[in-house]
Structure 1
């Protein structure tokens, strides 16, 4: 029997659910409702429109075959009725109606539904900072905000900008401002690292160093106290705990929260964190109402807890599930592991699953294993460096997550996607060591970096390798004068000459192949920290030293490649 489906929200999930359902039930009626003029656009593409990489807004609204996804497109191509500039203000669950208000005219309408979908998305978090109402202060939440930001920059009146927040959107906006517009940009972050919560501290340092090298300024561990104007109602400077920063433009990007007020008032179950509660079929507490996208909380497949993960990719997948189920199907969305990627100038960062800190917070006893190596055959001219952190449960060897940075984003995302696909099945380190990967020198190394990462984790878990990560190494290097550690560089002499020349009394170079013949040069009353280029030869050296009776030996994970990438250095 034909139905009337009403969908509130017409960006990612809403438009996907509408199109899927109409393919399954062409005789049924679908009404898409959205408060904005423009619908079905890529919100994730907004920073690239601001940067100028995407030349026009319609590119973010178009299909892959260059057709604009407007109301007329949905009517003609999908058989879906669209109400733009229309806000859903109330839901009567008993009567199964939605009250709508047409925003330009103020006209109200009551629309009956058989089943309802909530795709109300999220809204930007705006801290209660004095001066936030000044002209020139923006969030990044829809196409109108994107156009306002780009128009202001293109006017030539923005010489200095401040971005508040060092998450995905904040960093992408900083890249856009500096790379293509040449705007002097400062990023302020309350926490002590960039990309907080999604990547470990050492990899975060790698991304931080790269962005600083490109000209972005950072004030980490700082807090915005107020935004101050120029006397004409425009922002002129940002006052923080650490001082003042001139600013013609301020972008607030400290996160988003689920937009669930409509659901809450209607009496639907909403979690303490604010997301709509849904089951695996994406049904709400009302069996006639579905919800998905940025307004819901999802099941985390590794921790078993609820999580909020506003991603366009997830919204599109959930839209298909909801479309199926509106038509009587039983499709399920089982949950997420939390996969992401971001491009920061010439560096890519990506990850999936839990970070070391998140794993600890979830009650695991985790280990972080780091590997840095070339992303393809060492002799190929297109080779680049990839650095990966694998998060492993110590007792079981179960993989809990992986994060990384790389010169080649496609290569990194490919590795992350492999792990993301295997995490829900309980991936173990032993399976990673024997994972089959396609090989050709232009694309990968003969021993894939995922195999190397699994091997390294297996050796550490078995106690065959004793390691230290780069931040801990840097702390020990700072204390080198106390003489507790002997720093042994086992690279070839040509590779180690810079460090040995600068620190001849502390940094000793004996190539790994010459160790057996030079045991008498090593102290047996000190801890020996072995260093090489990537960690491979230092592991070999560690085995040699332990076999020859040295008791206190550790190897630097990632070697000098990791030291160089983080910018911690050996001075």
Structure 2
């Protein structure tokens, strides 16, 4: 008889542990339990099921060969036992038993283990506001929630909806409701921007603009005070602190989740500052006979060195393999993560890895960044699309701390971020990004890839050649008349700005700079401006050499301005 391994949780981490362990140890006695009757499904696919990209819910539960991953599947194909509708209620670490209750019959039993694995997942956070329990209020945590939301929409019961929370799940659900079903959708986020934990405000505002263009209303810096309705008729509106009452028939709370750790806490296992179970590099808890992974744990942030909670299906699967290897007697390690993240929003993709500027400052770094606009393919290739790429590094060490990207070709956006994410783990510097070897062919990249370009730009910033001004600083400062603009684009490009802003907007095209340099004021703050930030940088350098001391270069240029503030000219 092999070792007894009990796995609590059968959605993402648990099945990966079980399958890896079975391949390495054919004799192990493996029991996997879950309180739900839906197991081993792709939870991250729920918004795409609601939105119609995934036509049937069974596709989220099936293998690539369309075999449903139910209890019979694990019994027949994987030779292990799965018990659903069974809840683990207590752990006796000394006796090495788990107390389990059958939720169908109420029967209780003590199950012995040699090794215990906890894949407890997380629970959506619902703020304690009046009306949060009304019919028509939902969270998105499992397939039952997904079916309930989709059925409600399919039956024509929803003309308007409010999504509370501007994180990934909230935005994905907002797109699903608006795109396929034409539901009038509002997103309410209490922070100043959407995706507050993933990207900086500039990139977040590009995503917000894409949502606005597709009919979604986004309310940031606002909070829900009450859900309005009654038990018989359900939700009729939601009230926020700033916007007042917003009529709706559906409310989805996507305001983050909390790690399910009560079972671990009650057993005396160590828990971190964010509420997740603490584990070492082998995914062991403070009890060497108990492993944990997935949404319920805290792992090391490989950039800041602190612990953090990263509830992603990709994390759970990678950690599950490590646990399975170690339970079988191996020595696999999961050192931590840099927090790589990607999201599709209508026609654009956004991706990020590492720290944002705000997070870098809080972690004690002295960060600087470069933001450029460029093409993901060769500029002459017909499928090329513009990408905004932001690279963040520490001024002193030049170590890369983070990267953010947004653009129309989501695969191209993700590829650039993935490349840098792999290097951040090694502690790479800005100079390495500028010289990074990447594949080149016009259908896929430029000869000087945008990734190299943003590395070179940040290198120029750190070396003092490029005097950057962020777009938000530019918009605010110009509105307060802190400086004048030197637009080095063509006269046709600059004409609307000259007409609106008069002598505050000076237009001298780059090829005329030599002959018209006397028209440029030397005794007042001036910022250089072009379409992307490249020509304006060259002009800034030229004017630096001529004794101009108060010049800045606007990062991202007109291309980024038009995305961040499309009403700038109005």
The answer to whether structure 1 residue 27 and structure 2 residue 33 are counterparts is no
CA contact (8 A) 2:135 2:231 kept: no
3-state DSSP class of the match of 1:44?
Answer: helix
SS at match of 1:78: coil
> What residue number does 2:76 align with?
76
1:101 aligns with 2:101: yes
Are the counterparts in 1 of residues 537 and 553 from structure 2 also a CA contact under 8 Å? Answer: yes
The CA distance in 1 between the partners of 2:255 and 2:205, in whole Å, is 20
Is the Cα contact below 8 Å between 1:474 and 1:568 reproduced in 2?
no
> How far, CA to CA, are the matches of 2:424 and 2:86 in structure 1?
41
Instruction: Name the residue aligned to 2:43.
Output: 43
1:486 Cα deviation after fit: 2.6
Q: Distance in 1 between matches of 2:474 and 2:555?
A: 9
Deviations along 1:19-57, one digit per CA (max 9) or x if unpaired, are 000000111111110111111001100111111111111
Question: Distance in 2 between the 1:353 and 1:231 partners?
Answer: 45
Q: Distance between the aligned counterparts of 2:401 and 2:423, measured in 1?
A: 10
d(CA) in 2 for partners of 1:288, 1:544: 66
Residue 342 of structure 2 contacts residue 350 of structure 2 at CA under 8 Å; is this kept in 1?
A: yes
TM superposition score normalised by structure 1: 0.98
| Deviation of the 1:401 alpha carbon | 0.4
Residue aligning to 1:490: 488
1:152 equivalent in structure 2 = 152
Shift of 1:111: 1.3
Q: What is the distance in 1 between the residues matched to 2:254 and 2:567?
A: 31
Q: Distance in 1 between matches of 2:114 and 2:333?
A: 21
**CA RMSD in angstroms, aligned pairs only:** 1.2
Q: Which residue of 2 aligns with 1:360?
A: 361
Work out the CA distance in 2 between the residues paired with 1:301 and 1:230.
Answer: 48
Residue 533 (structure 1) aligned to one of 531, 543, 555:
531
Matching residue of 1:564? 562
* 1:264–1:270 Cα contact (<8 Å) kept: yes
Write the distance in 2 (CA, Å) between the matches of 1:342 and 1:457: 25
Name whichever of 271-280 and 199-208 sits farther off. Answer: 271-280
Match of 2:370 in 1: 369
Residue aligning to 1:142: 142
Q: Deviations over 1:105-144 (max 9, x none)?
A: 1112221111110001111111111111100000000000
SS at match of 2:7: strand
Partner Cα distance (1:493, 1:377) in 2? 27
Partner residue in 2 for 1:382 = 383
Question: SS of 1:31's equivalent?
Answer: strand
Alignment partner of 2:548: what SS?
A: coil
Counterpart residue number, 1:274: 275
Alpha-carbon separation, structure 1, partners of 2:551 and 2:28: 71
How many angstroms apart in 1 are the aligned matches of 2:558 and 2:215? 24
TM superposition shift of 1:233: 4.7
Give the match for residue 464 of structure 2.
463
Q: For each residue in 1:235-262, what CA deviation from the matched residue of structure 2 results, as whole angstroms up to 9, or x when unmatched?
A: 1111111210011000001100110111
Matched, 1:477 2:478: yes
- Provide the C-alpha distance between the structure 1 equivalents of 2:467 and 2:149, rounded to a whole number of angstroms: 51
Question: Structure 2: how far apart are the matches of 1:380 and 1:340?
Answer: 28
**Counterpart in the other structure of 2:255:** 254
Q: Is the 8 Å Cα contact of residues 563 and 569 (structure 1) preserved in structure 2?
A: no
Contact 2:186 2:218 in 1 (8 A): yes
Q: How many angstroms apart in 2 are the aligned matches of 1:207 and 1:511?
A: 31
Question: Structure 1: how far apart are the matches of 2:567 and 2:475?
Answer: 8
Moved more, 549-558 or 347-356: 549-558
Deviations for 1:136-177, whole angstroms, at most 9, x for unmatched residues? Answer: 000000000110000101110101100000000000000001
User: Could you tell me whether the CA contact under 8 Å between 2:353 and 2:417 is conserved in 1?
Assistant: yes
- Cα distance in structure 1, aligned partners of 2:558 and 2:318: 41
Q: CA deviation at 1:568?
A: 5.0
1:206 alignment partner in structure 2: 206
- C-alpha displacement of 1:225: 0.7
Superposed, which structure 2 residues align to 1:85-100 within 5 Å? 85-100=85-100
Cα distance change on mapping 1:233 and 1:261 into 2, 3 Å: farther
Does the 8 Å contact 2:478/2:484 carry over to 1?
no
- Give CA-to-partner distance per residue, 1:168-209, whole Å, 9 cap, x none: 000000000100000001111111111112111111111111
Map 1:156-555 onto structure 2 (within 5 A). Answer: 156-230=156-230, 232-242=232-242, 243-480=244-481, 484-555=482-553
Shift of 1:457: 0.6
Q: How many residues align?
A: 568
Match of 2:124 in 1: 124
Following TM superposition, where does structure 1 have runs of at least 4 consecutive aligned residues deviating by more than 6 angstroms? none
Deviations 1:471-499 (A, max 9, x none): 0110122123xxx5231111122332332
Residues of 1 paired with 2:452 and 2:51: CA distance?
A: 38
Deviation of 1:96 (Å): 1.2
Structure 2 contact 375–384 (Cα < 8 Å) conserved: yes
Q: Which moved more, 1:48-57 or 1:488-497?
A: 488-497
Contact 1:174 1:185 in 2 (8 A): yes
Q: Out of 89-98 and 401-410, give the one that drifted further.
A: 89-98
1:15 alignment counterpart? 15
Deviation digits for residues 339-365 of structure 1 (CA, Å, limit 9, x no counterpart): 000111111111000000000000111
* Partner Cα separation in structure 2 for residue 112 and residue 396 of structure 1: 52
Structure 2: distance between partners of 1:349 and 1:527: 34
- 1:5 maps to what in 2? 5
How many Å separate the matches in 1 of 2:230 and 2:325?
54
Point out the more displaced range, 262-271 or 133-142: 262-271
Distance apart, 1:230 and its partner CA: 4.3
* Structure 1 unmatched runs, 5+: none
CA contact (8 A) 1:499 1:570 kept: no
SS of alignment partner, residue 77 of structure 2? helix
Other structure's SS at 2:425 match? helix
Residue 567 of structure 1, CA deviation: 2.1
